[in-house]
Amino acid sequence: MYIKSLHNELGEIVRKLKQLERDKEMFSMLLRGGLEQIDLDAFPKLKEDGIIERKLVKKVESTSLTGLRIAGIDGGVVSRLYHAIDIILTKAAATIFDFSQDKPVVRYYPSDVPPLNVLVNYMPVSRTEIDTSSALERAIGEVRVAIDVLDYAKIDILCMDGSIYPQQYDIFATSTIAARGELLTRFYEKLYEKARENGTLLVGCVEDSRSTRFTQILGEILPSLIKKYPELFELLQVDYRGIIKQIKDTDLLYRVLKSGERSAVYRLLTSDAKKSPSRISAQWRDKLFAFYLKSVDFDQPTRIEFLNPEHVETPKTADRVSSVVYPLSSHHAAYGIPSVLIEADARAKIHDYDLDLVYSQLLDKIGHSSSLLKLRRDRRPFR
């Protein structure tokens, strides 16, 4: 009975997925067919809160990396809950590639083996708060290293693993989380200022974006585009509104973009705080932009964010960013992440055995303590 029920459930899931896949493919194919004719200058409202280029898709011109110094920043975090305390380990690392020869000369900051940061929470809080605190502390460590590396060396392009603006950490706002979230925001703004002073391009590479911002913008203008461009009339044959509601940016653009193409640039944060809540001050909000880059055939596009502090010729800045990130990200047909970030990730990674070592040292120094009891799920005698 159970096997039959499972078989029926899986059969229904397969049927729905196949239908959704067909709908997405049809929608993407029809949209791609009309992209060349679309001129977004005909939609001035887009300039206010949306896309700021004439074309939805643009070919990337790869540039030579010779003479550039590019840094990648990544962090690691591991946390574990015990009976009365919680332990969080963080680490942040910068990898610096000097492209002065055939192969880059590689340096590390603060070292090739970055130090672990050990944090202990003594307060009774929920698992959700520990997860939020862990993410906060990792981000704080990354931004601190990013600021320091700009003092350590002259960097042309600084690539952060992830976004270049703070996420909303005050959803579960305890006073501690709120204070650390405020600190992170100030660190980000200090990083913006430092990048502007140094003439460094600040770039964020979001590996697994779940954003729907680009598709939402597209959905707002599609009815007008269909009316204006005969090449898009066939979109009326599919439920494009329903598809737009169900598809992420990366899912859509994986199907629409070809390798070596990027999407149009759009504003990362709108002036409407309800649509894009952030603690970033007004002087920086309108200087943050993003686009999607498909650097290899068999991987999803990466959301590329960048700071344009002078707020001039943003499309040209996007061209420059993409022309550098593209050759850095095209070494593996199924993994389109900049090599400088891959190396930084290897240096910043924290393993479970790192936490086991810290725990063992605490036990050696303290002895048996109920505070250090592992959770029952981690010490079941019967398995």
Q: Residues 48-60: pLDDT tens digits?
A: 667 889 899 999 9
| pLDDT at residue 44, rounded to an integer | 76
Strands (E), 100-222: 105-109, 117-121, 157-161, 201-206
Which residues in the chain show pLDDT less than 50?
273-274
pLDDT digits (tens, 9 = 90+) for 128-157: 889 999 999 999 999 999 999 999 999 999
pLDDT of the residue at 103? 81
Architecture of domain 38-211+248-358: 2-Layer Sandwich (3.30)
**Predicted model pTM:** 0.92
CA distance 353 to 54: 52
Q: 249-256 and 213-228 helices cross at what angle (nearest 10)?
A: 50
Domain boundaries, given as residue ranges, for the chain? 1-37+213-247, 38-211+248-358
Nearby residues of 124 by Cβ (< 8 Å), 6 or more positions away: 84
Q: What is the distance of C-alpha 251 from the center of its chain?
A: 15
Beta carbons within 10 angstroms of residue 48's beta carbon: 10
pLDDT in the model for residue 278: 67
User: Do the beta carbons of residue 83 and residue 373 sit within 8 Å?
Assistant: yes
Alpha helices by DSSP H, 174-239: 175-198, 213-228
